Structure 1
Amino acid sequence: MAKMLFHDQIIERESRVNIEDRAYQFGDGIYEVIGVYDGKPFMMDEHLDRLKRSANEIQLKLPYQMDDFRSNLEELVENNELYEGIIYLQVSRGVGPRWHEFPDPDVSPVTVAYTRAEERKTDLEEKGGVAVLTEDIRWLRCDIKTLNLLPNVLAKQKAVEHNAVEAILHRDGIVTEASASNVFMVKDGTLYTHPANNYILNGITRQKIIERCDALDMKVNEEPFTVDDMLAADEVFITATKSDIIPILQIDNHKIAAGVPGAMTLRILEEFRSLIRELTET
């Protein structure tokens, strides 16, 4: 039977939620999704650093040190014999009476984690997909990875209803990110992506791609760009944990350039795959 992490114990997986858990009633908590490739968690330290930052931003005191989180999650992957998939980790502010203010200091945060088998999207990465546009109606602290994801859910549902892989969000005509991924465009040999401020989640895959572009001698500008800029781009792609890099060939009814995966996108994809091989073989 599959295992899960509950507090700091690996137990048999069960689906029970305390009705007064603040995650359930307020979305008062944070989470991370960590990719697992060839049986190894990928860039776990970066994900745990972001978890710590999110906790600080919402004044949530994490119940364990990062080393404890790391060892528990590695044990969970091993117990579940996960070879390819994801780890979902969530920390809520805890269980207490339903008042909007924080509960008493003696209320302990609730930590849960589980794994799920999930294959790589290699075919989609190599052939690309289409996207739709939708208004960014989220709150103004998108940099915090909280459980409050209803606007993202609505955006993703719009994508599904239009047979698209993603919904790209825009705020007053400025492209921010997508419902569950970051957005890059290429114009005249330069990559552009929205700066990592409060309007986007600074994706771990996004950060690593920017870092690796330096090694590839590719210029990256972290600056806002418009919907019109994106539609006139030479290439567009999205990035996310476990989705890695997906070329976007069409947005709504507008084809991007020739409507095929671009050369820079495919080069970055190959570099990222090399990084995965490098980190999972050590």
Structure 2
Amino acid sequence: MAVLISMQKVFLNGDFIDKDSAKISIFDRGFIFGDGIYEVIPVINGVMVEKQGFWDRFKRSLSEIDLSLPYSTNEFETILNRLIQINSLQEGGLYIQITRGVAQRDFSFVSNITPTVMAFAFSDSILEHPGAKSGITIISTPDIRWKRRDIKSISLLGQCYAKNQATIAGADECFMVEDGYVTEAGSSSAFIIKDGVLITKPLSNEILPGIRRQRLLNLAKEIGLKIEERKFSMDEVYNADECFISAATIILLPVIKADGKAINGGKIGEYTIKLRELYKEILKAQAKMI
């Protein structure tokens, strides 16, 4: 998977500045404790897409750790649109991070401090992601993360460890496994298709509620797939008819090999192709391209 590089201008605590000039205090709780949350919004044709899903999850994560964004929805959208404009971003995304702010080191949530708000833009290929045509490979790794994975926390060491294992193995992504079942991928949601049924883990504190997830479940019904929201094992992945992942800037990507085992003979499945094309049309409409 590609390494995302930020564009030149970033937003930090009320100002648009050069990325090389952006600095935070060493006493920022995000730096000391990982006390904060983040989000990623895809941008297509210079337009933020899937905004409602972003706001719903962003606000929920903030609420779950008793943190508030010091801007209204309209104010923050204006900031984000300005960030797109000054970076001349056409396709890619916005990374947004908010931490509790600067305070003396104290494990308890500190009140009456100003949150640190940061955002940057990055360029990426979403609609024509190369992995959509080639397919990607994954490995399985133990899921060693904390128990509130439904919060999009900036504390990502567990995911970093798992993704690094995939990199060492020469794979693109990993499926994290807990108690014998797949929870989710390292930085994406996990799905399999078997005998005309789309299978994905049900929402709970064990996984992040993927913004693309519900859209894909609805589209799957439209093309005749049945839906099962249940746990599934890596053996089911190996024997699936199709397998794919979804995330903000990839839409969905087909998985053609897991732990060295070819899925569907190493061929991209027809339902995966249909789902991606339908989703692309929705995003292009939101981006005013059609």
TM interval, short-chain normalised? over 0.9
CA distance in 2, matches of 1:207, 1:77: 27
The residue aligned with 2:88 is: 81
Whole-angstrom CA distance in 2 between matches of 1:179 and 1:212: 24
Q: CA deviation at 1:208?
A: 1.8
Secondary structure of 1:207 counterpart: helix
Rounded to whole Å, the distance in 2 between the matches of 1:84 and 1:141 is 31
Query: Which consecutive residues of structure 2, in runs of 5 or more, have no partner in the other structure?
Result: 1-6
What SS is found at the alignment partner of 1:201?
Answer: coil
Q: Indicate the residue corresponding to 1:124 in structure 2.
A: 131
Partner of 2:10: 4
Structure 2 Cα separation of the partners of residues 202 and 259 of structure 1: 29
Q: Which residue of 2 aligns with 1:251?
A: 258
Whole-angstrom CA distance in 2 between matches of 1:248 and 1:17? 39
Unaligned 5+ runs, structure 1: none
TM-score by length of 1: 0.95
Structure 2 contact 41–54 (Cα < 8 Å) conserved: yes
Alignment of 1:1-282 (within 5 A): 2-13=8-19, 14-103=21-110, 105-120=111-126, 122-281=129-288
Number of residue pairs aligned between Structure 1 and Structure 2: 281
Deviation sequence 1:227-275 (CA, Å, 0-9, x none): 2222211111111111221111111121112211011111111111111
Which whole-Å deviations, capped at 9, do the CAs of 1:20-76 have from their partners, x for residues lacking one? Answer: 000000000000011111111111221122110001111112212222221211111
Secondary structure at 2:266 match in 1: coil
Q: CA deviation at 1:211?
A: 2.5
Q: Secondary structure at the match of 2:55?
A: helix
User: SS of the residue aligned with 1:36?
Assistant: strand
Aligned equivalents of 1:12 and 1:246: distance in 2?
33
Secondary structure at the residue paired with 2:67? coil
> 1:162-189, CA deviations, whole angstroms, 9 ceiling, x for partnerless residues?
2211011110111110110000000001
Deviation >6 Å, runs of 4+: none
Matched residue SS, 1:122: coil
Secondary structure of 1:169's partner? Answer: strand
Q: Tell me the CA shift for residue 123 of structure 1.
A: 2.2
1:58-108 deviation per Cα after TM superposition (whole angstroms, max 9, x unaligned): 1112212222221211111111110111101000001000111122x3211
- Per the alignment, in what secondary structure is the counterpart of residue 142 of structure 1? coil
- Tell me how far apart the structure 2 counterparts of residues 27 and 195 of structure 1 sit (CA, whole Å): 27
Q: Aligned partners of 1:267 and 1:112: how far apart in 2? A: 36
- SS across alignment from 1:2: strand
Moved more, 188-197 or 198-207: 198-207
CA distance in 1, matches of 2:270, 2:11: 42
Distance 1:122 1:102 in 2: 40
Please state whether the residue corresponding to 2:43 is helix, strand or coil.
strand
SS at match of 2:221: helix
TM-score (norm 2): 0.93
